[in-house]
Structure 1
Amino acid sequence: MKTIFIPIYHGLQSVNILQTDAIHVLLSEPDTRVVVFCRPTKIAYYKERFKGYPNLVFESFVFELETTFIERILKFIGSNLLDTWDVYYLQRRRLMSIGKPFRYCAARVVSKILGNAKILRRLYRALDLRLNQRQVFGKYFEKYQPHVVFASDVLGVNDTIMLREAKKRCVFTIAMVRSWDNLTSKGVVRVQPDFLLVQTPRMFEEAVRLADMEPSHLEIVGVPSFDHYNGFVPDDPLLISKILSLSPGRPFILFSPLFEHYTESTVSILKYLETKINDGALPKELAVLVRYPPSYTSRKLDEFDGSKCIFFYQPGEHFPDTKTRFDWEFTKDDMRILANTIYHSKVTVNFVSTLTIESAVLDHPVVNIAFETMLHPSVNNSLRMLFKQQHIVPLLEIGGSKLAESYDELISHINSYLLDPTQDALGRKKIVEEYVPMFDGGTGRRIGKVILDRANKVPPRNV
């Protein structure tokens, strides 16, 4: 029996693999077994949800952290071993959050002096492989003797650990970039897989330039989390209103907030929208649906208790992670509700999140907020700084959305789209062409086929 290892420690990994045809393609051959490694908090959930698949095995394994001095040093170097603006931005944010100016200076030295040299990145990877001696997944390699390890988040902590151990055991490795911002912001790819799947041509170029991958070891497969948008047929708006706890037929805008360092800004913007609805600058019948990002805990905003126009919705299943963050899971119903929420809203308003691309896929108008709500915001609180990130800049250059650079522009842009939602349709089409290539609903199948083809070519290995 062929065995494939897949670590899944993030909700989006689950969406990309377990909620697409990828997992069904892998299990389509009766002599193939898939072993998924997940957090202990999710093991019962997964076993119940996939109990009809005898060749799909779940192993509970804690989220691994570096414990030795050498491991912590190697992690520090790896997270800073790129000279990109996004890495610099995260370094500045850490400095503002925890202080430690010496650590910040060391991080900048790693980025500027070491991060631009391909040969030094190669040396780092060799040392990382050599000096990390712990066999975290050793007993599982011995138990299952996998043919292939597939890491659906090439920059994830546990994915990296498993890739490293697979390399040492000469097990064939395939990996994927989890999301569109990862290669420029999450540090260097510490373990190069034998084969890497990327979602877009832009990611392909980044994988060659920043992850030092050979083009022949890369394949563009599309964006798996967007498969369900292909051929989307909207549900009855009255049904969606009921699910979202909105009055039947009431028009609404969809607002995707930011929390933690940005909570004060989120509250300020929502208060402003509430005021403008109440005083008639926006239509008085308009509601604002605040859809929590799935990873954030539902922080209760007491400021809006009893509001007649601000409503909240928390999607997904949630599992403990940190005090302010959830690990999460989406079902197909959750993804359908999100698609319907975008489709039936009048305008989506956000901070250039993935929601901008999802709205473009449905040819739906988008307003992105790019102004400060604080007089002198720090790097951690600045909304404008978000728009300098390397994955954001080219998206904005395409067009397809309106950029609100003041409170007044926010209201003006919303009203403009309410009058004519067809504005910027050409730009939205260009966003889809560049950020959702191969938009045919078949990305999951392509991912599964690549993994299965490789597994079929790899002979059994003794470990």
Structure 2
Amino acid sequence: MNDNGQKKLLIVITNGFAATNVIHSGLIQHMARLYELHILSDLLGENEIRAINRHFGINVKLFCEQIPAETAILKPLRLIGKAVFFRHFHIVTQTIRESQQAFWLRYSTVAFANVLECLGITRSVLVFLRKVIIARSKRMDIATKIVQQQFDGIISTSPLDIRENIIINSLGAKTPSLAMVISWDNLTTKGMINADHDYVLLWNKYMANEYRTFHQPLCNVPSKIHVTGIPRFDLYFQLDPDQVTERCFREKFGLGSARIILFATSAAKHFPEQADIVEHLVAYAKMRGNVKILVRCHPGDEPENYRLYEQENSVIIPTPQVLTGGTMVPGLRSLLDLSEMLKYADICINVASTMRLDAAACNTPIISIAYDGNKIKPYSHSVRRFYDYTHQMELNKLAIDRFVYSKQALFEALDDTLFNAKQNRINRTEMIQRFTHYTEALSVPTILNTIEEWLR
């Protein structure tokens, strides 16, 4: 605790999406008014911290210590644990991923997991591997400075990252820890959480059930689970469309009175042929007229793939903003910019991404691309497989979006959505409440209350 009576917290940020969850959502602004905050990060330096402080009018400090790297001993232990974890819990996501692997690797993994299953020792092996990883982490001498600072608590914003696990483990029971799981897919795609936390914050009840089923049984000490909603979604629920803001938005991008198609791309490694979808959208715009296409690039996408379409009058590719020139963290207005795009677009097109939820939270019609551009690929390499991942399956049942399996189907879906007023009567925001937990700006206040409870 500092001289002003405020408790001191250390926030570990090693992931750009985690930064958005904690910083861009405004959560950090509210926390900084209640606590003395220090950030330990390999993404943020002094320049970025200064920019954050200026933007929010706060005084967060950078904690200068190097983020530990995963060691040569920990990595194979983690990968073995991850493979056994997926097999033991029969997680569909990994089964689909394995269809892309070389036969010998897939066969070896399955054979090893089956042997453990037949011997009835799978869970024991997982618990053992996890204990070894935690024990090895504790030997790494990285906690000395943290202990010296006498923090009242440490927050892991990406708790499935082994580097953050190492930090938590090296502290042992000296400093209370809280984990914020940053995305709805993490618990079924990343393997084990190789650290024990006092509190774990999750988006919704689906994730809470996944944590209780897959992760809690492996913990040395059970964590307290809190469902808090999605902090960055608070901005979506705060911002109501209005004519003045929409006019400014349209003027900024030169949209005029056109109907707006927002194509929120996916990571390039997931869908290398995404430029084909832009090609198809351009063809549609030429056919229908008075249609504009906003191409918002995923942080893991490559904007240069779309440059050849910039000469088209119908295509606008906003330049991705970063916090400063040398960081991968988005600019501090990026979440507000995305919110405006979603609110004022007539339709959002995505490729099996969380953007399905973002668009629905803004009550914007959604088309989900389920074909591979101008190529025909087998299921094991097709974008179709992403919709069958474990975390997507319950959302699929809500039918908040329209799946398209060809260019022609895309055109038909665009016609139905852009020129059919019935589509606008569907309240998608209410439909996804089971995933967002809230449909009002209540996630940040809930997290603040949970942190207060954790620190008592």
In structure 2, the residue matched to 1:270 is: 278
AA partner of residue 75 (structure 1): R
Point out the more displaced range, 252-261 or 217-226.
Answer: 252-261
Larger relative contact order, structure 1 or 2 (CA cutoff 8 Å, min sep 6): 1
In structure 2, the residue matched to 1:139 is: 144
In structure 2, the residue matched to 1:212 is: 216
- CA contact 2:360–2:432 (8 Å) conserved in 1: yes
Work out the percentage of aligned pairs sharing the same amino acid: 16
Structure 1 position 258, deviation (Å) = 3.1
Structure 1 position 381, deviation (Å) = 4.2
In structure 2, the residue matched to 1:293 is: 298
Q: How does 1:167-178 map to 2 (within 5 A)?
A: 168-178=172-182
Distance 1:16 1:357 in 2: 15
In structure 2, the residue matched to 1:17 is: 22
In structure 2, the residue matched to 1:186 is: 190
Question: Mind listing any 5+ residue stretches in structure 1 that lack a counterpart?
Answer: 458-463
In structure 2, the residue matched to 1:197 is: 201
Residue 24 and residue 336 in structure 1: after superposition, are their counterparts in 2 closer, same or farther (change >3 A)?
closer
Q: Does 1:156 align with 2:172?
A: no
Structure 1 position 198, deviation (Å) = 0.9
Deviations 1:311-352 (A, max 9, x none): 21233316789xxxx722242x32222111112111111113
Deviations 1:55-84 (A, max 9, x none): x3212455543232x212122124322231
Distance 2:307 2:112 in 1: 44
Structure 1 position 141, deviation (Å) = 1.9
In structure 1, the residue matched to 2:370 is: 370
Residue 131 and residue 396 in structure 1: after superposition, are their counterparts in 2 closer, same or farther (change >3 A)?
same
Question: Mind listing any 5+ residue stretches in structure 2 that lack a counterpart?
Answer: 2-6
Q: Does 1:35 align with 2:38?
A: yes
Residue 421 and residue 356 in structure 1: after superposition, are their counterparts in 2 closer, same or farther (change >3 A)?
farther
In structure 1, the residue matched to 2:4 is: none
Distance 2:42 2:313 in 1: 40
In structure 2, the residue matched to 1:460 is: none
Q: Does 1:401 align with 2:401?
A: yes
In structure 2, the residue matched to 1:461 is: none
AA partner of residue 48 (structure 2): Y
AA partner of residue 185 (structure 1): T
Structure 1 position 21, deviation (Å) = 5.0
Distance 2:15 2:254 in 1: 30
Distance 2:339 2:77 in 1: 41
Residue 375 and residue 358 in structure 1: after superposition, are their counterparts in 2 closer, same or farther (change >3 A)?
closer
Say which of 260, 279, 289 aligns to 1:252. Answer: 260
Residue 296 and residue 261 in structure 1: after superposition, are their counterparts in 2 closer, same or farther (change >3 A)?
closer
Distance 1:60 1:242 in 2: 43
Say which of 71, 88, 93 aligns to 2:95. Answer: 88
Aligned to 1:123, the other structure's residue is in SS state: helix
Distance 1:151 1:249 in 2: 45
Distance 1:158 1:216 in 2: 20
* Runs of 4+ displaced beyond 6 Å: none
TM-score by length of 1: 0.85
TM-score by length of 2: 0.86
Structure 1 position 222, deviation (Å) = 0.9
Structure 1 position 293, deviation (Å) = 1.1
CA RMSD of aligned residues (A): 2.8
- CA contact 1:257–1:292 (8 Å) conserved in 2: yes
Residue 104 and residue 3 in structure 1: after superposition, are their counterparts in 2 closer, same or farther (change >3 A)?
farther
Aligned to 2:216, the other structure's residue is in SS state: coil
Structure 1 position 203, deviation (Å) = 0.3
Q: Does 1:228 align with 2:235?
A: yes
Structure 1 position 379, deviation (Å) = 6.4
AA partner of residue 38 (structure 1): S
AA partner of residue 236 (structure 2): Y
Residue 261 and residue 155 in structure 1: after superposition, are their counterparts in 2 closer, same or farther (change >3 A)?
closer
Aligned to 1:299, the other structure's residue is in SS state: helix
Distance 2:238 2:17 in 1: 21
Say which of 74, 77, 80 aligns to 1:77. Answer: 80
AA partner of residue 330 (structure 2): E
Distance 2:203 2:254 in 1: 36
AA partner of residue 32 (structure 2): L
Distance 1:145 1:102 in 2: 50
In structure 2, the residue matched to 1:443 is: 443
Residue 276 and residue 357 in structure 1: after superposition, are their counterparts in 2 closer, same or farther (change >3 A)?
same
